[in-house]
A and B are shown apart, each in its own frame.
Chain A
């Protein structure tokens, strides 16, 4: 049995090393994704292009615009004389929002408690200006909403006394609140899902398409030997990818790696096996490589969207959480973030680890049962 598994393993590894395209993808997919997600994707919007309607034309209005620019949230790219003009610009997509400063700005400002702390908070207090926002993009809308209670003391020439906040917030593990810290470990999960399922889903189908299977099934090789021999080389590839992502993440994006390497290795291997067996099951269903590819995408989309990679798991509706629980990537997403960012040991994450293990065993059994040493 071991001779045959080893024979299939070495054969697969040799073929893989001679397939330059695949080998290139193994290295390039993690690097390209890492650059894209590391540099391009940021959930806190900055430098949003906005317009300004300044009907007051005073030093105070200019000071307010200046203070807002200083937050780096927005860039005033255009000025408009009327709301109508600004609305057209929003519709055309030139700007995402417009700040309307009324003619009586100075009077409003002086009676505003955020400007002058002597002023009482009265129901007659009116806001100093108005933001008109393209609310269709929620990320941009919420960035602008954050300006709603912007302190106006910078506009004032006099010092003001700050009131104590209701709560103090201490942010563990990612005090600077950098998105990339959460993204990089998540990316390990997503890229492994993508490549592991993709490669193995094509594995059995390719032997069928190239005519190798007809010979192979007349030999005494057993299904389980074929399955194990076929997926084992990809475990190495998966581990190479994990190392690429985490080391580039660590040295280029300064993502801390706090967990123990053994926990990291154990968790990764569990997930790699789970993904590979999922790919094998797809491989026994698909009739050709195109179908295998389509099925991979069918698994990949929910894996990216529901696993907690892009949107927090806890914010999802219960039904979506059930689907997410059925995907191995959700469990690994929790594990890898816990290990890398929070220094959790794999023993602390027993439930997720157990689930991945069960998934692997179940997948191998299903794939071996589905794979018949017969032609159709």
Chain B
């Protein structure tokens, strides 16, 4: 397959376009009418709890699963019927480590390289490049199964990007990694993004979601909200009020009974309260309820957005 064929295609604004994408397993709807438009060169996040349909969506978009309904265009081509040719242009890092535990780092890379059709000097150079880039030069003779979570993850990323894909799917890439390695990992993702790769990453960490250019909040197979983190925070249909004082646990119980309060959660010595948007003066409204406790307006965080649009609190 020659690379020039791809460049002759029209330059696409959107790398992934999905319309009404659905997947049912029996009666269970895993993904429900998902619409997506992911622009080229961005990092797009899927944020949601376990079992919300993140992995299924990624598998649908990579062509690993066949959609029950809906249309998908990947890199300007319809996915249906082009799965195999698209596989040369996309990379996928699975949630579970999917390389061979009883092969060494070098052998794993050699294998993946050959599978993508690399041979001879070209393969050798590319693998050396990746070993240096992902800081695995000292581990080349180590079995993949005996490496730490962070090293495994770097190897997996090296294998997934060996063929320099235009679009990279990462399914919860950092779930088995410590915070230090996570930071470093995200730096590498931005390097890839800078080089023109579009990245779709799923996560259940708020801080990771906040790093994305744009994200979709998913719950039970439905997309509850999407946009850039800032836009999502600005458009949040609730106001955040922080309450401090004594007996916060009891106060929380009375607050969450109130129909105009979306949620209340304790964070350190504060109670973070989400008040519905229709309440005209939320600060005054909370002060009346709080019986002398101190109340202040606060800036919304991504977690507030997540809370506000999941758990049956979303506004359709």
Q: Please report A residues at the B interface, Cβ cutoff 8 Å.
A: 3-4, 6-8, 10-11, 14-15, 18-19, 210-221, 373-375
Contact = CB atoms under 8 A, between A and B. Distances in A.
Contact of A14 (B59, B98, B107): B107
A11 B111 contact: yes
B97 A7 contact: no
B99 A215 contact: yes
Contact of B116 (A11, A210, A219, A375): A219
B94 to A, nearest CB: 5
A197 B100 CA distance: 23
A11 B64 contact: no
B87 A218 contact: yes
B101 A374 contact: no
A375 B67 CA distance: 12
Nearest to B83: A373
B84 interface: yes
Name the residue in B91, B101, B102 with the highest tally of chain A Cβ atoms < 10 Å from its Cβ. B102
Interface in B153-174: 159-160
A211 B102 contact: no
B245 interface: no
B3 interface: no
Nearest to B143: A18
A18 B83 CA distance: 34
B263 to A, nearest CB: 36
B267 interface: no
Interface residues of B, number: 33
Interface string B106-137: 01001110111101000000000000000000
B90 interface: yes
B297 interface: no
Interface string B36-79: 00000000000000000000000100111110000000000000
A4 B115 CA distance: 5
Majority SS at the chain A contact face? helix
A96 B79 CA distance: 74
26 contacts: A3-B117, A3-B119, A4-B115, A6-B114, A7-B115, A8-B115, A11-B111, A15-B102, A15-B103, A211-B94, A211-B96, A212-B99, A213-B98, A214-B94, A215-B94, A218-B62, A218-B63, A218-B90, A218-B92, A219-B115, A219-B116, A220-B84, A220-B88, A220-B115, A373-B83, A374-B63
A3 B107 contact: no
A331 B84 CA distance: 39
Contact of B100 (A4, A15, A218, A219): A15
Name the residue in A6, A7, A212 with the highest tally of chain B Cβ atoms < 10 Å from its Cβ. A7
Contacts of B119: 3
A214 B98 contact: yes
A375 B112 CA distance: 20
A43 B66 CA distance: 58
A327 B100 CA distance: 34
Interface string B218-231: 00000000000000
Majority SS at the chain B contact face? loop
Contacts of A219: 87, 112, 115-116
A7 B98 contact: no
Contacts of B112: 219
B65 A374 contact: yes
B59 A215 contact: no
A18 B102 contact: yes
Contact of A3 (B88, B103, B114): B114
A24 to B, nearest CB: 16
A8 B62 CA distance: 23
A151 to B, nearest CB: 68
Contacts of A220: 84, 87-88, 115-117
Name the residue in A214, A221, A374 with the highest tally of chain B Cβ atoms < 10 Å from its Cβ. A214
Contacts of A14: 102-103, 107
A243 to B, nearest CB: 27
A225 to B, nearest CB: 9
B176 to A, nearest CB: 13
Contacts of B107: 11, 14
Given A14-B102, A215-B159, A220-B115, 14 more contacts: A4-B117, A8-B115, A11-B100, A11-B111, A211-B98, A212-B98, A212-B99, A213-B98, A215-B92, A215-B94, A218-B62, A218-B87, A218-B90, A373-B84
A4 B96 contact: no
A211 B94 CA distance: 9
Contacts of B100: 11, 15, 210, 212
Nearest to B25: A376
Contacts of B90: 218
Nearest to B59: A375
Contacts of A221: 115
Nearest to B104: A14
Contacts of A6: 114
Contacts of B116: 219-220
A3 B110 CA distance: 11
Nearest to A226: B115
